[in-house]
Amino acid sequence: MSHPLEGKTVAIMATDGVEQVELTRPWKELESAGAKVELVSIKSDSIEGYKHLDKADRFSVDKTVRQASIADYDALVLPGGVANPDALRLDKDAVAFVAGFVAAGKPVAAICHAPWLLVEAGVVRGKTLTSFPSLQTDINNAGGHWVDRELCHEGGLITSRRPDDLDAFCSELVRAIAA
């Protein structure tokens, strides 16, 4: 079995209300490819996943965003859900964490409602990306170009619309980190 991400470390940033499959599926795919994955959050201890609007499992947090250093990671994954990115975009440290990854030229993968963090971090201007359709106006108003596609990868930003797009999202994430 090939491990193209051996020696790579990836941060997944999330908090309560994360869409569970958008957290667990990339995590599993990254680990299967050989990466070390750490859950970074705005809170310590654990976060609660959701299956749509229903509470699901809890996940242990490895580091708070204040404890985490961009230099320690090769990429950042931002899972969606509605409550998760909405809470994260109100935290200045979380927003700075996202902006720092983009400034460092490291891949940032955001799915569903997670591109709200890209908007808040001011990194979408001039870029084409996708998201859950309700973010279209936010992305366009921030100077980005929203498209309704399974996957976009431009300027280090990897974006997808919803859980149905996870096959393409995870494949492109692994490819981008391995490159």
> Active-site residue numbers?
112
State which amino acid sits at residue 19.
E
92 three-state secondary structure:
helix
Answer for the pair 131, 100: CB distance below 8 angstroms, yes or no.
Answer: no
Answer for the pair 145, 125: CB distance below 8 angstroms, yes or no.
Answer: no
Torsion of CA 165, 52, 65, 142, to 10 degrees: 60
How many helices (H) and strands (E) the chain has is answered by 6, 12
Using alpha carbons only, what angle is made at residue 52 by residues 82 and 153, rounded to the nearest 5 degrees? 55
Q: What's the CA gap between 106 and 39, in Å, rounded?
A: 17
Q: Going by C-beta distance under 8 Å and a sequence separation of 6 or more, which residues neighbour residue 103? A: none
Among 40, 42, 43, which Cα is nearest to 76's? Answer: 40
